[in-house]
Copies of this chain bind each other. A is one copy, B any other.
Amino acid sequence: MKEFYIADFKTDEEITDFFIIKTIALKLGSNKKQYLDLLVADSTGEVTAKKWDISDSELPSINEIKDGDIVKIKAVVTQWNGLKQLRVMKVRKKVDNDPIELMDLIKAAPERAEDMYEYIYKRAEDMEDKHLKAICIKLLNENKERLMYYPAAQKNHHAQLAGLLYHIKRMLMNGERMCQVYTNVNADLVAAGVILHDMEKLNEIDSNELGISTGYSFEGQLLGHLVQGIKSIEKVAEEIGMPKEKTIMLEHMILTHHYEPEFGSPKKPMFPEAEILHYLDIIDARMFDMADALQGVQPGEFSDRVWTLDNRKIYKPLGE
């Protein structure tokens, strides 16, 4: 277990612990000497680190370290223009016996992936509509392995281990209530839309098993997860014999859930279930981003401007 978390670093403290490498680069200083420029992270945040003097004998092992690797670092915490920084004395890649708890090192959804998956799976099993149930069950099964760790985005909302499951689960919870309030709405259709709406993010973005996205796939860039989702539903719908109207309505929900053309939806929702799906999606993203922005903000203060929130600054109240 970790002893030193980034969020708790104290200036001048000497620390020895494990971190994940976000970026690593060997640079030439203005004094013509090489130094190592690092960005390292754990589950509580990120910090820059410098190793100023590098002997020739260190170079081979340093050259082996790559983005995404877990390393052991010995360093002193310094202060630099008001920001903490590590002055590194030793750094090496993790070896097999190192006592590492992955969850200490990475950002992750606050619930166990298995529990969230089970919650979602159960909602699918409870559907009365046999076709919607069949397609949800089938795609949940097929994609189970990757759902256990996939983030819901490359950056921004739910860019975290199992973030996609967390996003789906919270949307299901809110959607359940709305289907009680708006009784004319088909609750199974809403739930199926929620479960499937972002499923093709699994093929649009690439992610390692730590839930850290490493970019967009070729197909993701050329088509995007909305169109990919429609292709996926079309294929499964044919396999399970889903009627044409229901198939097209489900595809329409995927197509329209970003709502605005400039965000990727060439059509707007044309029935209430599609409309609700959009709002469940956007609310959960916004709530995530706002909570994220407020992390570390003092009561009575504003966060920095948040790009995904139209550059707003978010306020944390003092209360009384």
Write out, one digit per residue, whether chain A residues 17-37 have a CB within 8 A of any chain B CB (1) or not (0). Answer: 000000001011111100000
- List A residues at the B interface (Cβ < 8 Å): 25, 27-32, 52, 80-81, 170, 173-174, 176-178, 180-182, 184-186, 218-219, 221-224, 226-227, 230-231, 234, 243-246, 248-249, 251-252, 255, 260-262, 264-272, 275-276, 279, 282-283, 286-287, 290-291, 294, 300, 302, 310, 312-320
If A177-B177, A186-B317, A262-B262 are given as contacts, then 7 extra A-B residue pairs at C-beta distance below 8 Å, sorted by A number, are: A170-B181, A176-B177, A182-B287, A223-B251, A226-B266, A270-B312, A279-B283
Q: Which of A52, A276, A317 has the most CB of B within 10 A?
A: A317
Q: Contact check, B28 vs A30: say whether CB atoms are below 8 A apart.
A: no
Q: Which residues of B contact A178 (CB under 8 A)?
A: 174, 283
Give, as a whole number of angstroms, the nearest-CB distance from A24 to chain B: 12
Give, as a whole number of angstroms, the nearest-CB distance from A130 to chain B: 11
Q: Contact check, B272 vs A261: say whether CB atoms are below 8 A apart.
A: no
Q: Contact check, B234 vs A219: say whether CB atoms are below 8 A apart.
A: no
Q: Contact check, B252 vs A223: say whether CB atoms are below 8 A apart.
A: yes
Q: Which residues of B contact A317 (CB under 8 A)?
A: 186, 245-246, 249, 271
Among B28, B248, B282, B287, which residue has its beta carbon within 8 angstroms of that of A272?
B287
A174 to B280, CA, bound (A): 11
Q: Contact check, B266 vs A265: say whether CB atoms are below 8 A apart.
A: yes
- With A28-B80, A80-B28, A177-B173 in contact, is A248–B223 under 8 Å at CB? yes
Q: Contact check, A315 vs B230: say whether CB atoms are below 8 A apart.
A: no
Q: Which residues of B contact A234 (CB under 8 A)?
A: 231, 234
